[in-house]
Amino acid sequence: MNCCWAASYSVFKALAPSLDAGGVATLRFGFAGLLLLCCWPWLPGQAPRSRDLVRAVFIGVAAFVFAPRLQVAGVQLGRAGDASVLLALEPLVVSVGAAIFLHEHIGPRRWLGFALGMTGVLLIAEVWRPGFRWPALVADVLVVLSFFCDGVYSIVGKPLLARAGLLKILGTALLAATAVNLCVDGLRTVRLTALLPGSAWLLLAYLTLICTLAGYWLWFAVIREAEVSIVALTVFVQPIAGVAMAVFFLGESVHWGQLWGDVVILAGLLIGLSRHVKPEPLFKKPISSVQVENGGD
């Protein structure tokens, strides 16, 4: 799924001539919220109530109003490949938030995984080269700020999963975000939709169905079973895939530093996640009738 999300940075850049950050956020999350609203009676679990409802609305405003606008604006001001490089900061932001608010422990293997991931991103960017130029300061700040808003989805959303249905939490957040997005620039976005070419609609469909509905559903499903700080490590896949897609689809330059950076990032993922991969034994010891009678395991 992180590979699919990585493509969204190239999609943001490709949509720049037709839609700005507000337009992309309004249409992408608006269509996703409308689809879930149509399926609401068949969605499993309870809807969030009372304080959980307020939290779900907060998730929607932070993750689906502020975060995408900051990301799209940052990418359109800078380069899609640069935004993919900056993604190395997101796992750190999310993990620190999980440690503070969810009291998750971050062990040495995960810190080593984070360190290797950051090193790999620096290799991709080739920061040692004399001609290296960091992305424009404004674009940097916008993308990094979006990571704090994105982190709200995991840190505030994880406790809600024990009390409400996964898709109903997501649907509530999307509908709340859509209401805010429409209030901010709905009329302008509606006017722009009449001018969108067919290719832009296909890109919006990808953002809606894959990156939003499938992606955020899957993320909730995973953090319900695992610690947020562990799952955040997988975001290091995005610099690898994001740079490759920026090269392939947008024609941005490629260099050897990207290859070595990819290798180091993958090593960081293997180390950071290795402790939590526990294969089942091929043969399990059978339970005897004596054990069952005596209440044994």
Residue 2 CB partners (closer than 8 Å, separation 6+): 234, 235, 237, 238, 241
**pLDDT category, 292, cuts 50, 70, 90?**
very low
pLDDT at 228: 86
Contact (CB, 8 A) for 151 and 93: yes
d(CA 246, CA 124): 13
Higher pLDDT, 40 or 84: 40
Counting residues of the chain whose pLDDT is more than 70, the rounded percentage is 68
Task: Calculate the alpha carbon distances from 3 to 143, 208, 263 in Å.
Answer: 18, 15, 16
pLDDT of residue 297 exceeding 50, the answer is: no
**pLDDT category, 145, cuts 50, 70, 90?**
confident
| 129-136 mean pLDDT | 57
* pLDDT tens profile 178-209: 999 999 888 888 888 888 888 899 999 999 99
- Least confident residue range of 142-146, 222-226, 255-259, 278-282: 278-282
pLDDT at 94: 80
pLDDT at 137: 47
pLDDT at 71: 77
Nearest to 58 by CA among 147, 133, 138, 155: 155
Contact (CB, 8 A) for 29 and 216: no
* pLDDT tens profile 113-125: 767 766 766 665 5
| 223-247 mean pLDDT | 78
Residue 99 CB partners (closer than 8 Å, separation 6+): 105, 106, 229
| 152-170 mean pLDDT | 94
**pLDDT category, 129, cuts 50, 70, 90?**
low
pLDDT of residue 281 exceeding 60, the answer is: no
Contact (CB, 8 A) for 231 and 107: no
pLDDT of residue 141 exceeding 70, the answer is: no
* pLDDT tens profile 262-272: 567 667 666 76
Ramachandran angles phi, psi of 286, nearest 5°: -65, 155
Contact (CB, 8 A) for 68 and 211: no
Measured in residues, the chain has a length of 297
Single-letter code of the amino acid located at 116: L
